[in-house]
Structure 1
């Protein structure tokens, strides 16, 4: 039996808890926490007080303390919906997406008709790259509550990543109808319109988004990227400065400008260049680092150590340091992807002298010995980063490579470090040489790949870092692109102002990779026959 004293303690604790709720409701958070603490002092195993205290700790930035309070509340009451929901929200805010999804999934199981829990679970699944699951959960949330604007926005984004553009457009349109001043909805509509090649409509949507929220970084970045795609470089670089969201911005934007026609704008300047994107961007824009150094700037590059050996072949006199080390006194600290803006780059002023990187002679000889024969030698790269935030649709279905594997007199080499046993269809796998474990497995990125490229007649690649490496080495390279590709490849043209030895091979409307690779195979066949005659 429970004693009267125990009942009195519990009643006192609950009374203190209710007083804390009142203070919390009226915005007096410090006073509220005092009551919750008093309630917990009287009754330490009090899930509701722990959850409310956790919420206040979360609201005041004490995240680890809040997680501890939520965790204890859940230990005491495993089916406590509010504690699971609140902890999921905090884990999501801290970008601990798997933990957030687990908490929201438990909350959904407890309350299947709670649209908010399903919406949050869908958001966590989307941010974690589980796109199909996210779509399913967000649609279920909206079936319960069609007025959830955030759910529509996340649904539109997930559908867009999956290539379901028409459905994405409908989701963003519903969000705009629910909230006519929703800048994010108009930005999403702009992204879909751009993907479909509707550039005027895309620009109008971005402008509409910015009319409602002039500081919306996604809209500024998307508009800038579209301007670059259309060749409007001067305006485009400004918008491109918003390519980061706040949590990913490594350094503030720099106003420093350099002028090749006036070397004094570079000579003697102490410049810290910070790597800010993928390795393809590093290779593409390192030409500007070399330009700074060659014109007398004292350049320090904060970049990935694995790229030092390759980039050193440029001959640029550059000091290296860790990617995240921004310390020291500099005249300018600038992201490497911001250097085109700093040089006021337009199409005709792109510094496109290639090669500006080179393969090491000893490695060229080593890999030459592993590539015997006199046939037409083609290096293949068919996939890039598998991070869902990168456009996965840039990668090529391995089945589309079949026409190349069937070409007589053509030797194919995989420019991938890792090729899964079942990744390539058998008919394709038989025709492609995979170099295996020794290929670029050391601490230095791309040095073996560069040497292999020096022994190839042609590189055929999707839009990934391999394309930039081949271009920077001055090797013949064909890049297989979606019909509407990323901004740096511009529109319709078959050449690139960034890389003179590059040919752009574009899919038709609908991005039919199979048809594109049939065309590529036909063109390679002609080159192979010409080499055989020579």
Structure 2
């Protein structure tokens, strides 16, 4: 005899007993009861689902997934099984499969706010931020007291650049949970983006008062100190910049006195790459300095950047970034070098150029770039991963003011750009150099040589800006009103790169107005005229 939901009366009684034992902390008794239920009825879907849950809880993901899928093949309307399957797949980073599972659970039990909250989390991880925000709002309409959903909504809105709305979500999360360290941390981040630096600092301090070991709060407060020019405190917080489990090496106590050559002579130092190529280029100046002072430096980083970095003439040993073997006096991440060297705003080592283009490539691109007109290289897009802040990128149509300048040649430095991605007026003015531009195993070799022939580089905040600065080439960087810490607050120059000029949006992210301003300044600096607009 089957009861509602499947399973004989005897099997259901055993399952109920097992569930109660598990909830009471008697795990082995609970497992035995579920096993007994499945011996009586191997097709009892709810027992299969609960067996999957137990396996999942114990870290046996593959077995748990088999149980869930068997249960769902027998009873496809089991919302709990779909939900637990979604949790399992999220943990395995099978994000699209997880999203589908949560969506099925939500369709079956639309009244459960927690199901929607997790569905939103899967959408968020997939980068579908607008959809995630809408799903979080659904969860909150069902349960206005769900602080986790408010926090998640704030995270999605923040990534979308809707800072004022994100601030409201974080404030609501904090009202619901006054001890919510993550809520205060999120509030600090959006307050910083809104230029409310005192509020941001208070929020990070509140977060750390609640959770003194919060790496998110420590790192974000550190970046705020750096943005405001307080490097002494900033570098300490910056040491917590990695997400948990992704720190390449432990925090190092290493300290280097750049004024004392004897203290560095012969010292064996392993420097490990820890961020993107822009950071590597920016901080490689310290590797050069340490080696020139007699340190025995080994650089562990991506092979594709070795050739460019070796143009510095540094006497270093090169190895892959995962190869940390050997005996060293010090092991530290490359972006920890400013802290180790006690760098302050006024002592940033900025001797440029410290990287150089290869002579043969300079000659090659000289022939390709012959002709009249001021040559301006353009780059408008960086890393598109939403976690890396793609909002530093600039819509290509914002560059139309530059396309209307007379006696200017616009050189495309944007690798992978296609003409059909661009407004026609820009596409017709933009010179695409070749299909194999920087197409080899080594990064930026062609770009560096091309920059040797350019009168100016205009770029968003990406590795192209760091490369031009390290080469000592004239470069203008277009920034949001509140930019990343390395560009400081409100400055038009960069203490890291003497050849760099910074332009900031006057109103949030009004890129068109900013590029208009840059076009006027280019015209003034190079004594240019303006072409008629192409209709």
TM-score range, shorter chain: over 0.9
| Residue number in structure 2 paired with 1:125 | 123
Cα distance in 2, alignment partners of residues 437 and 78 from structure 1:
51
Quick check: 1:74 aligned with 2:63?
A: no
Cα distance in 2, alignment partners of residues 510 and 495 from structure 1:
19
Q: Which moved more, 1:331-340 or 1:448-457?
A: 331-340
Q: Which moved more, 1:317-326 or 1:156-165?
A: 317-326
Q: CA deviation at 1:45?
A: 2.5
Q: CA deviation at 1:10?
A: 4.3
Cα distance in 2, alignment partners of residues 65 and 527 from structure 1:
68
Q: Which moved more, 1:439-448 or 1:247-256?
A: 247-256
| Residue number in structure 1 paired with 2:533 | none
Q: CA deviation at 1:47?
A: 2.1
Q: CA deviation at 1:434?
A: 1.5
- Unaligned residue ranges in structure 2 (runs of 5+): 530-535
Alignment of 1:37-436 (within 5 A): 37-436=35-434
| Residue number in structure 1 paired with 2:523 | 525
Cα distance in 1, alignment partners of residues 418 and 128 from structure 2:
21
Cα distance in 2, alignment partners of residues 525 and 243 from structure 1:
41
Cα distance in 2, alignment partners of residues 72 and 430 from structure 1:
58
Cα distance in 1, alignment partners of residues 261 and 27 from structure 2:
59
Match of 1:460 among 447, 458, 463: 458
Q: Which moved more, 1:460-469 or 1:83-92?
A: 83-92
Runs of 4+ displaced beyond 6 Å: none
Q: CA deviation at 1:13?
A: 3.6
Q: Which moved more, 1:68-77 or 1:203-212?
A: 68-77
* 2:388 counterpart SS class: coil
Q: CA deviation at 1:454?
A: 0.8
Q: CA deviation at 1:114?
A: 1.6
Quick check: 1:491 aligned with 2:489?
A: yes
Q: Tell me the alpha carbon deviations over residues 399-441 of structure 1, each in whole angstroms, 9 at most, x when there is no partner.
A: 1111111111111101011113322110111111122421111
Cα distance in 1, alignment partners of residues 297 and 492 from structure 2:
35
| Residue number in structure 2 paired with 1:6 | none
**TM-score, length basis structure 1:** 0.95
- Cα 1:288–1:23, aligned 2, differ >3 Å: closer, same or farther? same
Cα distance in 1, alignment partners of residues 420 and 278 from structure 2:
27
Cα distance in 2, alignment partners of residues 358 and 104 from structure 1:
52
Q: Tell me the alpha carbon deviations over residues 16-44 of structure 1, each in whole angstroms, 9 at most, x when there is no partner.
A: 32332122011122332233233334433
Cα distance in 1, alignment partners of residues 389 and 167 from structure 2:
18
Q: Which moved more, 1:274-283 or 1:417-426?
A: 417-426
Cα distance in 2, alignment partners of residues 251 and 482 from structure 1:
32
Q: Tell me the alpha carbon deviations over residues 172-214 of structure 1, each in whole angstroms, 9 at most, x when there is no partner.
A: 1110111111111111111111111111111111111111111
* 2:245 counterpart SS class: helix
Q: CA deviation at 1:320?
A: 2.2
Q: Which moved more, 1:51-60 or 1:83-92?
A: 51-60
- Cα 1:302–1:69, aligned 2, differ >3 Å: closer, same or farther? farther
| Residue number in structure 2 paired with 1:475 | 473
**TM-score, length basis structure 2:** 0.94
Q: Is the 8 Å Cα contact of residues 396 and 422 (structure 2) preserved in structure 1?
A: yes
| Residue number in structure 1 paired with 2:532 | none
- Cα 1:26–1:262, aligned 2, differ >3 Å: closer, same or farther? same
Q: CA deviation at 1:395?
A: 1.3
Q: Is the 8 Å Cα contact of residues 291 and 315 (structure 2) preserved in structure 1?
A: yes
Cα distance in 2, alignment partners of residues 55 and 31 from structure 1:
15
* 2:527 counterpart SS class: helix
Match of 2:438 among 429, 436, 440: 440
Q: Tell me the alpha carbon deviations over residues 45-65 of structure 1, each in whole angstroms, 9 at most, x when there is no partner.
A: 232222222222222222222
Q: Which moved more, 1:415-424 or 1:134-143?
A: 415-424
* 1:271 counterpart SS class: strand
Q: Is the 8 Å Cα contact of residues 257 and 265 (structure 1) preserved in structure 2?
A: no
Q: Which moved more, 1:332-341 or 1:232-241?
A: 332-341
* 2:405 counterpart SS class: coil
- Unaligned residue ranges in structure 1 (runs of 5+): 4-8
- Cα 1:300–1:50, aligned 2, differ >3 Å: closer, same or farther? farther
* 1:243 counterpart SS class: coil
* 1:248 counterpart SS class: coil
Q: CA deviation at 1:246?
A: 0.6
Q: Tell me the alpha carbon deviations over residues 90-133 of structure 1, each in whole angstroms, 9 at most, x when there is no partner.
A: 22233332221111011111112221111111111112211011
